[in-house]
Every structure is written in structure tokens, then in C-alpha cells.
Amino acid sequence: MTPNAQSRLEDIQTTYGNFSVHKNKPLSTLQPPMRNIYQVPFGQLVPNFVGRTDILAKIELAFNSSQDCGSHVVVLRGMGGQGKSQIALEYCRRAKEEGMNAIFWIDATSEVTVRTSFQNIAEKLVRNGEFVTDSEMVHYVVEKLRGWQAPWLMVFDNYDDLTGFNNVREFLPECNGRQIIVTSRHPSSEALPHDAVSKILIEGLADDDALDLFWRASHAGKRNFDVDEIAEAKRVVHTLSSHPLAITQAGSYVKQQNIRIGDFMDHYGSKRENLLHDTPLPPHYGKENHSEAEKETYINVFTTSELSLCSFMESMKDGREKAHLLILFAFFHLGNISEDLFVSYCKQAQVSEGYSWPAQCLLPCLGEMRRADPNQREQNSRCQMQWDSGSLGRMLDKAMQSSLVQFRTQEDGIRQFSLHSLARDWIRLRVSELETQYYSILSGKIIMGYLVDNYHQRTFKINKPKQYALFTHINEYLQNTARYSDNIELDNVDDWIGSFLVRCGRYKEGEFVRKRLLSSRQANSGLQDASTLQVMNHLANLYDLQERFELAEDMCRRTLKGKQSVLGPRHQGTLRTMADLAWILYRKGEFMVAEKIARGAVEGQDSLGKSRQNTFNCLDTLAQILRAQGKHAEAMIYQQRSLIGRRKKLGDEHPATLIAAINVGSIFQDLGQFDCAEEYMAKTLVVQRRDLGKEHPDTLLCANNLALLYLDQGRLKLAEESMERLVEINKRLLGPSHSFTLKSTANLARILKSQRRFVDALTIYEEVIVRLEKTLGSGHPYNITLSEEFEALRVEMEAGAVDKALPLVGMRGGYLMKITLFLVVLILNFLGWYCCW
């Protein structure tokens, strides 16, 4: 590498910026498509929205009077249950009718939910050819909306936790004339607007609106009331401080119980007295956080919530048992609780241990016993209690009539439902500490059941919207179980959740869960326990994925030492960790040490049996290390052994067999036998696309290697086109600065050199070397090789041996890349097979 490489880095940025479309020029100049986007939960808008015309007018006035240089923020602040979210939804509905180009709804419960909402928005904003990693998602959305010329509206709903989440300003796009609404209970939220008119306090309904709401809730369809009824209704709404949620629940109670309005106050008074005696309010509802009037109002709402819950239990057969199901719902995130979570749980819990089955709270929604597999007709085939969707629907309908939940049925028949935050708080407040622990753990086991049920072909088959919903529920589960993190019942849950988070690229959250699991295993089983050591192994693999190689090696060596002591040096688990360590050392560029360890792992596995899965894994690892050192003939021997063994044991089309076939094809490529290589790869790719899909990591590995084969064959255009399709995924998953992406960029330089585009190749070489030094270090073998290639090309150019300048054209915003290492690491760490490229 030339001495002035670092100083030239700034000059190179312009050229290298082309590798990331949204870094080529400011995002403010990149306009998203002018199309209408409405990401708003309009289904949660109550059908009979009452009053609040004064508040809606204040919002309109605040936005119209804006003198801000940037987006105008309006805060709707008030107690829980005052209808802040409903007011925001109604404003969104009207804005849509009046032609607002785009409206975005952000769940601002926590920073995690905000980031998840932004990811969901980014899915709608990203255009073809743009690549955005999860870490860039918030910046991408903020910058995109900053440059959007058409009007848009954004709502940050339930921004109540300003202590745990105090950096909301980072998520507010600054753009003149754009509208942002924030709903919050917290007084400090009023620091967000720039003027007094934009700080709108939401209090109780106006008298006429409060009465109207009560009549609608209690006597739907009736319009004429006598003087006594009107007087009693006024007494009710006055007692409830004209609080919308309390009034709605009171009216629903009158209707469900079919009682006179005058009798309601007796029911209310008795229940309130019991509440004050039996259930002290938690600190965050006490005087130190709220005025005496606010505290009284919260007591009113909790009383009407208790009445609603009692009415619900009395209105249905097995109502008390079904109330326990509502309690369970309260331990998930408020919104987007999906029925399919419970369908999957009931399915998995009846075939595996560790799920707390039977869960009594779910029994009212279970039907008759049927065979788990209808195609099995044997008398001894296992039967399961089937989920009864109709029972859930009837229960939710009654709960909604009691103003406890809202729900909607999707096109696929799956119901999604949500609880109001105050109703959720009351439900959780009324249960004991033992019940709190039970439901907290059970919610995690339900999430685990869903993950297990949707895990096929070594991949979680869960689409993006459902992933985002799961992230919010997982965050809630982690908060709920923070006090019980050493409870051994959480271990399997944390293990599955950790794997899911890591595979979704959420390494930070995955690391937190893995460390929590490790702490639990250490506390319950000690360091010298096989289960503890396995978690350490997983954590080492996660560090490797994050390219924290020193941490990865240290953790892996500690794991290996522990397994040698606990399991013995020849145990298959010990040998597997040896292979993991060899892989990490290979990634660090320490090939000779890695080879020695990998050979030891293979020899050990052979002594246990040459036709075992772990043996094949170690063979793959050793073949990879040998290939890196140019020992292709020997690598072929080990890789062929793996392929033949997998074919016999698993079949020709098993995913692991296909990976071994790809690796054999790649070694044929190394040996210059291109026809054989293409035959292996092309056949494998057809099967993988059919069985796994075009974006499965295994499929991408094969497509990548086939593209590299095209390069070796001189079919440069085909290689470029194939790689261009793959580069999108690599950038989206890892970002432009990850070592895998940089190595792919180095391969671009090589293909440019093959196309005689030497100046561009030289520029890219230099940029990659500078960046890779920060990741791998200057002494890494890959960097040394790359620097030698760079110097050779530079010397030739200075000597005039090659044409110096041919334009960089025809790249269509994408570049050749090799994503093999990324895919191999995924398969190594997640799937249990070590693959070569």
C-alpha cells in the first residue's frame, strides 16, 4: 500500500460513494416516489368518535400558525385514557381525506418500538437500487422525509417514558411545513414544541360530549331520556371527571348488566371502596407524579376497568377462566397481539416439553382432540387439542363490548388485538407477584412456540411485519422478566429468542439475551456445566459475526478448555468447539494454527465414527482452511468425503448435502476444471431455488460461487449481472463498511481490472485496503495479498505497461461482490454446517 493512501481517502470517497446509492449524494436530494403512504392503525379508531372538535381545531390552528424552520411539533398531553390516541387517529383520518400525501404512525412506547416502527416505514420508502442496513434505518427515514417535497404527517404515540427514552428528538425529521404530533402523559414532553399554541392539554370531555358518549355506550339506539335518567347520567359523568375511557366503560357496564343508570353508582361505589382497600396504587400513579385530581381520576378508571372485567366474566360461560386469558394478553406489548402466536404455542406445547402445558388460561379457546397429522391413521398416532378460533372471536367480542380490548380480523382470518394502556395497567396491578411471574414466563414460552413453529429448513419463515411485531413483544418480555432472569424456566426461551434476534441481524439485542442466558446458566449450573459451555460457544460465534475476533477467540478458548475438562478431549461437543476455534483463527488469518486445530478435530471425529454429522462439519471446516492456503487437492479429498457421507446419510437434496456439493464445485473451480464446477453449482442452484427460495443464505452462497466461476471463465458481463443481484442483499444485511462487503468490493476491483478499467480498479483497491486495515489489521493475509495486487497494478500503470484511464460506466449502481464468507459464517454459527467457498 502506498504511503499516502490514508491522505487520499477523502478524494476517493466520491468514487467509492457510488457503492452505496444513498451516500452518492445527500438524501435530501433523493426524492422518494410521489405516492400515497398511510401507515396508520385506522382500525383502532373507535366507530363512534365523540366530540373533541375544540382539540382538533387547536391542532389545526397550531400547524397553520407555524413559524418554525423545520417540522412543526404539536404535543397532545394528558392523563391516560383521555383519548389522545383517538384524537390523533381522527386527525389522521381527516388529513387523509383532505389529501395528505403520507401519514406515519410511530409506537413511541420505547426506543425499541420507535426503531421497529421506523424499520417498517423504511420498507415502504426504499426504492429499487437503494440498500439500507438496520443500523442505518432511522437515519435513512429521517433524511428521506427531510427531502420529501409532498406534505406528510407523523404521529409519535404513547411517548410516556421520558426517563428511559429521552432522545426522541433524534427521530424527528426536520422539514419546513411538515407536521408531527406527539401524544404523551409526561409533562416534560411539552419541551418538544417551540411555541405555546402547540402544547395542547387534553382534559375531560365537555359536558355535552361526555353525556353523548355515555348515552352511546349505555343505550345505543335510544334517543329519548326522562329527566331522572338525564340527571343520573350527569352524576355519573361528573363523578368520573368526564374521563372518556371511564365513561365508555361505565356505559358498557350499564348496557351489559342491563341495570338502571341510577343503580350504577351503587355498583361503582362498592367496587371503588374495595379497590382502595385491597389494591394500593403503584408509585408511578401516586401523588409524587400526579396531582390529587389526577390520582382520583386514575382511581375512577381503575374502578370502571374492574367493573368491566367483572361484567366480562359474568357475561360468558367460563368467564372467569377467560379473564385469565385477558391477563395473559396484558403481558404482551399493547398493540399487534396476533392470534397466530397462540395457535403455534398450543401446537408446539403438546409435542414438546418445557412449555408449561397445559396453560389453564388457554383452555377455553381449545377444542376437541384431533390427530396432529390428519394423514396419520394409525391408532397410536398422537392427538392434540385443537385451537378454536371461533371461541377466541366470541371472547374478544365480549371483551370489546366491555371496553377492554379492540380487535380486527385480517384477510387471512387471523385476529389481531390490543389493550388500552390503562386497562393493561389495571389488569396487571390486580394480579399477585406469583401470577406476575407466571404470566411473564408464559408469554416468553408463547413467543418461543411461535419461533419453533415457524422454523423450517434452518430458517425462520417469518415475514418482515411479523418480525417487527415480535421485536416489540420480545422487548416487553425482556422487561417483564428482568427480575426473574436467573429463573431456569427462561433458559430455553432466551436461547430461541437469542437465535432469532441474531439471525435477524439484531446483534446488540441478541448479545444482551445471550449474556443473560449465560448468567442464568452460571448461576444455576456453574461454569463447569455442558449447558453453560454451550452458551459460551454461541456467544463466541456471535462475537465472530460482529468481527470482534479477539473476544471471539478468548471466549472460544475458554469454552474449549471447559469442555475438555467436563466432557473430555474426545467428546463430540469438545471437537465441535475445536472446529469453531479453527474457524475463528482462520477468520483472523492464522491459517497454520487453524489447520492444525481443524486436523485434530477431524481426527477426533473420525475416531467416533466417520459417518456422523459432526464429522462432516469438521471436514468442511478443514477443507475451507486448506483452500485458503492453496492446498486444493487435499481440500478436495476432505470435501468429497463430506459430500459422499451426506448423500448416504441425508439424501441428495438435503440442504446440508447441497452445501457440500457447492463446496466441491468451488474446489473444481480452484483446480481449473470449470465444466465440472459449473455442473455441480448449476444443478444445486436449481434445487435450492425450488426448495429454499431465492434469498435463502444457502441459495445465495451457490449463486455467488457460480458468479465467481463466470469471472474465471471470462464471462464478465454474466458475472457482473449475477453479482449485482447479490450485492443488494449483502449491503442490506451488513452495510458498506463490513469486511465481507469490502472483500466483495475488492473482487469488483479485480473484475474491473479484467475489463481493463484500471484507474477505477486502482482507486477501489486503495479504498478497500485502508478500510480493511481498520477491521482486520495490516498483517492479515488477505490484506497483504490485496496490497500486493494494488502495488503491482500501480507499478504497471506508472511504467505505462497498461492503459491508464478507461471510464467507469455501465454499472447501474451495483458492483461485483463475493458474499460467500458472510453466508458461510451464517451457516457455521447458526445452522451447524461449515461450508467452503
At residue 369, the 3 state secondary structure works out as strand
pLDDT for residue 164 = 83
- The reply to whether 1-30+652-837 and 33-202 are identical in fold is no
The C-alpha atoms of residue 303 and residue 287 are separated, in whole angstroms, by: 18
Four-CA torsion 452, 454, 457, 461, nearest 10 degrees? -140
Cα-Cα-Cα-Cα dihedral sign, residues 536, 505, 662, 629: negative
CB-based burial label for 373 (10 Å; 0-12, 13-18, 19+)? exposed
* CA distances from residue 207 to 202, 213, 223, 252, 459 in whole angstroms, order as listed: 14, 10, 17, 19, 57
The C-alpha atoms of residue 312 and residue 323 are separated, in whole angstroms, by: 8
Is 517 in contact with 495 (CB distance < 8 Å)?
yes
* CA distances from residue 771 to 9, 19, 738, 784 in whole angstroms, order as listed: 9, 14, 9, 13
Summarised one tens digit per residue, pLDDT across range 162-217 is 888 888 999 998 877 789 999 999 899 999 998 899 999 999 999 999 999 999 88
pTM more than 0.85 = no
Q: What is the pLDDT averaged over residues 472-492?
A: 94
pLDDT for residue 288 = 56
Q: Where does the pLDDT of residue 768 fall: very low under 50, low under 70, confident under 90, or very high at 90 and above? A: confident
Could you please state the CATH topology (level 3) that the domain comprising 1-30+652-837 is classified under: 1.25.40
Specify the CATH number of the domain 33-202: 3.40.50.300
Q: Tell me: pLDDT of 636 over 80.
A: yes
pLDDT for residue 175 = 79
The C-alpha atoms of residue 481 and residue 484 are separated, in whole angstroms, by: 5
The C-alpha atoms of residue 200 and residue 448 are separated, in whole angstroms, by: 42
Q: Tell me: pLDDT of 354 over 90.
A: no
The C-alpha atoms of residue 134 and residue 504 are separated, in whole angstroms, by: 9
Q: Where does the pLDDT of residue 253 fall: very low under 50, low under 70, confident under 90, or very high at 90 and above? A: very high
Residues paired with residue 383 on neighbouring β-strands, in sequence order: 371
Return the beta strands (E) in 267-404 as ranges: 337-338, 366-371, 383-387
**Nearest by Cα to 501 from 538, 531, 528, 453:** 538
Summarised one tens digit per residue, pLDDT across range 769-793 is 888 887 777 788 888 888 999 999 8
Q: What is the pLDDT averaged over residues 25-36?
A: 49
> What is the β-pairing status of strands 102-107 and 37-39?
parallel
Q: What is the pLDDT averaged over residues 624-648?
A: 95
Q: Write the DSSP symbol of residue 527.
A: S
Residue for cell digits 368520573? 240
Q: Write the DSSP symbol of residue 416.
A: E
The C-alpha atoms of residue 335 and residue 339 are separated, in whole angstroms, by: 12
The C-alpha atoms of residue 759 and residue 23 are separated, in whole angstroms, by: 21
At residue 659, the 3 state secondary structure works out as helix
Is 101 in contact with 125 (CB distance < 8 Å)?
no
pLDDT for residue 820 = 46
In percent, the amount of the chain with pLDDT more than 70 equals 85
The C-alpha atoms of residue 343 and residue 352 are separated, in whole angstroms, by: 15
Helix ranges restricted to H, 526-571: 530-545, 549-566
- With residues binned 3-state (H G I as helix, E B as strand, rest as coil), the percentages for the chain, rounded to 5, are 65, 5, 30
Is 560 in contact with 581 (CB distance < 8 Å)?
yes
At residue 353, the 3 state secondary structure works out as coil
The C-alpha atoms of residue 4 and residue 513 are separated, in whole angstroms, by: 44
Residue for cell digits 335510544? 222
Is 147 in contact with 166 (CB distance < 8 Å)?
no
Give the angle 169-174-176 at the CA atoms, nearest 5°: 145
pLDDT for residue 816 = 33
Is 762 in contact with 806 (CB distance < 8 Å)?
no
pLDDT for residue 731 = 65
Least confident of 58-72, 167-181, 477-491: 58-72
**Nearest by Cα to 272 from 318, 305, 314:** 305
Q: What is the pLDDT averaged over residues 222-230?
A: 79
pLDDT for residue 192 = 92
Domain map (residue ranges) of the chain = 1-30+652-837, 33-202, 207-315
